[in-house]
Amino acid sequence: MEQDHKNPRHDGGCFYCGSQGPFTEEHAVCAGLGGDDRAWLLKDCVCGVCNTDIFSKLETKFLRASPAALARLFLQPRTRDKSGVPSVQPKTSYIREPATGILLEAELGAGESSEILPQLVFTDAQQAAVTGPDVASTIAFLSELQKALFDDVALIEKTKQGVEVIYQITHLSWKEAFYVAGEVTTASRPPKAGIWIEPLIRPETTPDGPPLLPRIFRRKAGQLVCRVNANEHAAMFMTILRNAPELTETIKVGASAKVNGQPEFHQRYNMDMVAYDRVLTKIGLNLVAKLLGLTLIRNPAFDAAVAYAREGVGGVYKYSPDRSVQFADCLGPALVDRHTLALLPGPNRNGGHAVVFMARLYGGPMEGLRLAEFDTPIPGLEKPILVHVDYVNHKIERLTLEEHATRIVMESGGVA
């Protein structure tokens, strides 16, 4: 039901916050989901703060660590810049080395590709094993590690204080053949040089086998990471490496690790389901603005959904899986290489009218959100509006329910 209080966004400017700009082009459907279609840009109605400072960061979480992330990795060949490939951001990512059972740091790439990262694994207090995807990258990693062992080393940990991300920096100093932990500081941004610290976390998919060994590795993005259970352990292992330089000698690097066949891959994610639902809400709101107009999206009935998408405040009504299945049955099966999105007129709790947003991403389950409630019918939404997002070619098209049904019949090999 429409609310009576005034909000700056009701009168113009950015329809998320009411700001008078500067404005930036906003993709109606996230570019990272395959929505990089210039015909579906929102112009002069979403400010740069909402677009870049808020939604870009939120969408990064959605695209790299959400239920849609793995599907995107395997099914979508390219990202918005049309040259890069999708990536995921798991908390941990391992391949089991068949001969020893040791879990090695790895990255899962687009399609079904996977790659062992250059790494040094401590097999005991005085020995280390070195491996990597190839000789050249393993040698480069060891050379970089040697250079990182200065008299002063910064250990960097990413932490959270409420919703704010901060970086805790432990300063190590070389004193009398040992690295000694000194001052601990915090910063809103990480230093350019340093070694990242991450905990040893065993995936639930590998409850048995050899212990998870401490290691130092290099991510493809270039960060050196020490995976240990405590900062003092990191200081101890770096002391060992500095006192035993033969452990990092590049001359000893031979053939690097290869895992043949289908590797046993293990990942652990920190799923942020609030971020996931907020991005779905935002896509629904953007489609209302694009398809039904700015006058409607500025209506106070959308205030709760806007606040949830932009600030994570409150929430929207999310239909139960059983109810969503009913919508899915009405809209038909998944389409190949396309997201199915829909705006539907639906009943509200008081017998009025609701704007319902449905989304089926990468052929997964249908999910439904109630974005707003009205006492009267919604102008322009007398019938369902379907949107197909071709995430392979970054093309979006609007269809009627009848056109959508015809497309499904044709794809299944039938005759419309």
Q: Check if the beta carbon of residue 200 is closer than 8 Å to that of residue 227.
A: yes
CA distances from 194 to 105, 168, 212, 354, 378 (A): 19, 12, 24, 52, 56
Residue by residue, DSSP assigns 232-275 as HHHHHHHHHHHH-GGGG-GGG--SPP---SS--EEEE----HHH
pLDDT for 29: 97
pLDDT for 2: 45
pLDDT for 12: 93
According to DSSP, residue 82 is labeled S
Burial of 363 (0-12, 13-18, 19+ CB in 10 A): middle
Phi first, then psi: what are they for 105, rounded to 5°?
A: -65, 135
Domain ranges of the chain: 8-70+272-411, 92-268
pLDDT for 254: 59
pLDDT for 11: 93
The pair of three-digit structure tokens given for residue 152, joined into one six-digit string: 């002063």
Cα dihedral 143, 146, 150, 155 sign: positive
pLDDT for 394: 95
Which regions of the chain are under pLDDT 70?
Answer: 1-5, 81-83, 110-113, 125, 163, 251-263, 265, 267, 269, 413-416
Q: What is the pTM of this model?
A: 0.75
pLDDT for 66: 83
* Per-residue pLDDT tens over the stretch 337-365: 999 999 999 887 778 899 999 999 999 99
pLDDT for 1: 42
Instruction: Please state, in angstroms and rounded to a whole number, the distance separating the CA atoms of residues 287 and 385.
Output: 10
Torsion of CA 334, 336, 338, 343, to 10 degrees: -20
* Per-residue pLDDT tens over the stretch 159-201: 887 767 899 999 999 999 999 999 999 999 999 999 999 998 8
Phi first, then psi: what are they for 31, rounded to 5°?
A: -60, -35
pLDDT for 48: 96
Q: Check if the beta carbon of residue 384 is closer than 8 Å to that of residue 401.
A: yes
